[in-house]
Structure 1
Amino acid sequence: MNKLLYVFLLVTVLSSCGEYQKALKSEDVALKLEAATKQYEAQKYNKAIRLFEQIAPVYRGKKEAENMFYMFAQSYFKTKQYYLAAYQFESFVSLYPKSNNVEEAAFLSAKSYSKLSPVYSLDQVDTDKAIIKMQAFIDKYPDSQYVAEANTIVKSLTEKLEKKAFEIAKQYNTVSDYKTAIKALDNFLADYPGTIFKEKALFYKLDSSYQLAINSVPSKMQERLNNAKAAYDALIKFNANTEYRALADEMLVRVDKELQQFSK
């Protein structure tokens, strides 16, 4: 690197750092805003946040601070501080409802909540909240350029809830609590009629019905065998080419064989 260029860059960096430190210690809010804006435009969002946090209480509600609060919210979002981003974007929408950025802010607020959604096995309170927030955005801005992405996010979050509910229902089958499994899977199918896990749920209901029937006491066996046969029919009706067809057919053969003793 050219020595003069190196010196120039070093002086520039040191000067910038000096300006930033000066702004942090200053009582001049206008100076802080100017420095925060420079840091934001340089994509140094964490530095910008430190300054925005100092001056936000002074500027809150003032029209001239509209752009400042937009940058503040964006800074949190870009640094993946999604709780704070969601709060700041919501505040922006409330403070500046006529802003040109209000639609984007409303979307990013909802998107921030979606980023807080944990893996399906954990508590899904934040997932429920994200769906509500995103659906509210879609309802308010049905023609928004962000609607396609919003719908994709809602679909993904909903499938996460479905997976959690399905895995809970399936677990009863895994631990051989077949009566509870049948009830749980029926509830799951009723709650999520269009779920992507429908085929799996129908199969595990069949398996649970089958296991309950063939291990049943004689007085309850016929009814339970017929229930298993009905569960088989439901699965095949949904998808005749199901990946579980071979297993299901084996179960049906056993069920029909056991039922023959009741027809004699």
Structure 2
Amino acid sequence: MFKKIEFLGFIAVLVIFTSSCSDYQKALKSEDVKIKYDMAESLYNEGKYTKANRLFEQIMPKYAGKPQGERVVYMYADAAYKDEDYYLAAYQFERFATSYPRSQKAQEAAFYSAKSSYMLSPKYSIDQTDTYEALDKLQNFINNYPDSEWLPEANEMVQELTLKIERKELEIAKNYSKTFHYKASIKSIDNFLVDYPGSELKEEALYVRLNASYELAINSYEYLVKDRLLQAQEAYQELIEDYPNTQFSEEATEINESIEKELSKRS
């Protein structure tokens, strides 16, 4: 008896599913915009965003300039975001904010356009073009909506993305040292310290500069060694003055002892 009930239940679900799919296919092929709209909205409300957007794509041009157009464009952008299609979401939310600047949803659209771009930001070791674009959008949002309820989240995303850019720059400097391009490493760190004076990576940057400065000195022609050792010693002093209890204390002390030893040979 129970097996029969289970079987009938399965058949009922299958019929409903088949009917639903059939209705969706009919809507896709229909020439009636209202049928497409109703089906798209229904699918959107059910969380079936990929299917909904196939229909929204078809009907958006038909609703351009009409009262329903605002709702269609918003649902299309929101469905893309919830479907994790962030490239599409970023573009469509931005389009919405530009097309409907007086809409009650304009601020929300501007935020989610920026957040979609944030979601596209890759790990720091990869090209950061998307990260810079996200930062630009987030900063524009912060400037345009300083009292927004989304301001704290926007600021957090800016901080996270900025740190990612800083890490990228610092790793470039470190890689210069690893490939024995010490001058380039030092120059990169100098630029880093100017561009990001308050970075939480500053301590590490100062240590990288110290190490690169020392390596440059001891691998120089003899007539350059003393001056470059003195520059390395200055780099050590800056690290210790800014960070008396630096996490790089052991390594930095060892480098400084080597600097003093090399200088004593040339006094």
Q: TM-score range by the shorter chain?
A: over 0.9
Aligned to 1:84: 88
| RMSD (Å) for aligned C-alpha atoms | 1.7
Structural mapping, 1:30-49, within 5 Å: 30-49=34-53
- TM-score between both structures, scaled by the size of structure 1: 0.93
Worse overlay, 78-87 or 13-22: 13-22
Shift of 1:109: 0.6
Aligned to 1:231: 235
Q: Deviations over 1:139-183 (max 9, x none)?
A: 111111111111111111111111111111111111122222211
CA distance in 2, matches of 1:231, 1:104: 48
CA distance in 1, matches of 2:255, 2:163: 30
Shift of 1:49: 0.7
Shift of 1:4: 5.8
Aligned to 2:71: 67
Aligned to 1:174: 178
Shift of 1:80: 1.5
Worse overlay, 127-136 or 77-86: 77-86
Match for 2:34: what amino acid?
A
Match for 2:234: what amino acid?
A
**Aligned: 1:164 with 2:150:** no
Instruction: Classify the secondary structure of the residue corresponding to 2:98.
Output: helix
Runs (4 or more) in structure 1 with deviation over 6 Å come to none
Shift of 1:3: 5.9
Aligned to 1:52: 56
Identity between Structure 1 and Structure 2 (%): 49
Q: Deviations over 1:7-66 (max 9, x none)?
A: 543433233222211111110101100010111111111110111011011112322222
Instruction: Classify the secondary structure of the residue corresponding to 1:73.
Output: helix
Shift of 1:240: 1.2
Match for 2:243: what amino acid?
N
CA distance in 2, matches of 1:214, 1:252: 13
Residue 33 of structure 2: which of 29, 50, 54 is its match? Answer: 29
**Aligned: 1:114 with 2:118:** yes
Match for 2:90: what amino acid?
A
**Aligned: 1:215 with 2:214:** no
Shift of 1:71: 0.9
Task: Extract unaligned runs of 5+ from structure 1.
Answer: none
- TM-score between both structures, scaled by the size of structure 2: 0.92
Aligned to 1:192: 196
Q: Deviations over 1:199-241 (max 9, x none)?
A: 1111111111112223333322221111111000011112111
Structure 1 contact 40–48 (Cα < 8 Å) conserved: yes
Aligned to 2:155: 151
Task: Extract unaligned runs of 5+ from structure 2.
Answer: none
Q: Deviations over 1:120-151 (max 9, x none)?
A: 22221111111001110111111111111111
CA distance in 2, matches of 1:185, 1:28: 63
CA distance in 2, matches of 1:3, 1:16: 20
Structure 1 contact 169–188 (Cα < 8 Å) conserved: no
Match for 1:210: what amino acid?
Y
CA distance in 1, matches of 2:65, 2:164: 38
Worse overlay, 61-70 or 232-241: 61-70
Q: Deviations over 1:96-121 (max 9, x none)?
A: 22222221111111111112222222
Aligned to 1:12: 16
Match for 2:196: what amino acid?
Y
CA distance in 1, matches of 2:222, 2:235: 20
